[in-house]
Amino acid sequence: MLFRFAAQAVRSSVVRAVAGKPPAFEYLHALSLRVNSPLLSQGRSAIATRFLATETKAAKKPAANKAKKKPAKKAAKKKAPKKKPVKKAPKKPVLRHKRPEGVPKGPKSSWTLFILQYKSEHPELKLISDVTKSAAIAFQNLSTSEKEALQAEAKQDKIRYEKEVAEFVSNNGGDALKKENKRRVAVGKKKNKAFVLLKDPYKPSRPTNAYGHFMIDVKHHPELTGLSIAERGIKTAELYRALSAAEKASYKAQADASLASYKLAVQEYISKYGGSR
């Protein structure tokens, strides 16, 4: 009975091993402990060898039945809502000061007169840089008489300019000159260029204060001779502080008189040429 049971167990284990399934090794081991049979021992050894071989192959080969995991689908990105176009604020209008008619052109210096003449005599020079370099060398090599002739011509052009400015102010008034100066300041700042303001020949000069009258009096003081501009300023201030109260009062009276005459001149200017000063 026992032998038949053992044989059946061995047969079932062999069938399982052939089918690629692990045999009931633990069961046979437990049975061999209870029945010490040489036939069962031989069967157990063969089954154990087969079992180890099957386990080794199963470890080497990957499981074919395992389904491959599909990559997870990426979550669809939500489209950001379209931003509404921001309305730009309208640009502020640029204040443009139109050039008044009849505004005189500025006076030409001796260098300006020479480079204009040099450019007309050398039409082969197209670039401004080439004209400037060549004219500078030629200007340095001028004789004394040639330079004096250019300086005399520049003085005549300055006289012409001052006459034209006076005519412009007399015909158009002081407000037109102020408007032209504002235009020149605006253009100069916008283009980052130097600008020259028109000088009103009829404009009254500013009044001189008490210290200004004192500086005029001590201009040729012996203690100020041979000093630099900065040293003259320091020494003049020391001399003014050393004045007595009566001397300072006399200079103050001169300043008051200058102020009164200035106010009268301003009233005459406004009545004749207009504008405000």
* Tens digit of pLDDT at every position of the chain (277 positions): 544 555 565 566 555 555 555 555 544 454 454 444 454 455 555 555 555 555 555 555 555 455 555 666 666 666 666 677 666 766 655 555 566 667 888 888 999 999 999 998 888 888 888 889 999 999 999 999 999 999 999 999 999 988 888 888 888 877 788 888 888 888 888 878 777 787 888 888 899 999 999 999 998 899 998 889 999 999 999 999 999 999 999 999 999 999 999 999 988 888 877 765 5
The residues near 140 (Cβ < 8 Å, ≥ 6 apart) are none
Q: What is the pLDDT of residue 153?
A: 93
- Placement of tokens 């204060």 in the chain: 209
Confidence at residue 175, expressed as pLDDT on a 0 to 100 scale: 79
Cα-only R_g, the chain: 57
Please state, in angstroms and as integers, the Cα–Cα distance from residue 43 to each residue in 2, 3, 94, 104, following that order: 15, 12, 110, 131
C-alpha distances (whole Å) from 246 to each of 156, 239, 242, 243, 250 are 48, 15, 12, 8, 6
Looking at residue 148, its pLDDT comes to 93
CB 201 within 8 A of CB 166: yes
What pLDDT is attached to residue 35? 46
Does residue 10 contact residue 43 with C-beta atoms inside 8 Å? yes
Select 204-277's CATH number: 3.40.50.410, 1.10.260.40, 1.10.10.10, 1.10.30.10: 1.10.30.10
What is the SS3 assignment for the chain? CHHHHHHHHHHHHHHHHHCCCCCCHHHHHHHHHHCCCHHHHHHHHHHHHHHHHHHHHHHHCCCCCCCCCCCCCCCCCCCCCCCCCCCCCCCCCCCCCCCCCCCCCCCCCHHHHHHHHHHHHCCCCCCHHHHHHHHHHHHHCCCHHHHHHHHHHHHHHHHHHHHHHHHHHHHHCHHHHHHHHHHHHHHHHHHCCCCCCCCCCCCCCCCCCHHHHHHHHCCCCHHHCCCCHHHHHHHHHHHHHCCCHHHHHHHHHHHHHHHHHHHHHHHHHHHHHCCCC
Fold that domain 101-200 belongs to in CATH? DNA Binding (I), subunit A (1.10.30)
Whole-number Å distance between alpha carbons of 204 and 269: 8
pLDDT at 29: 52
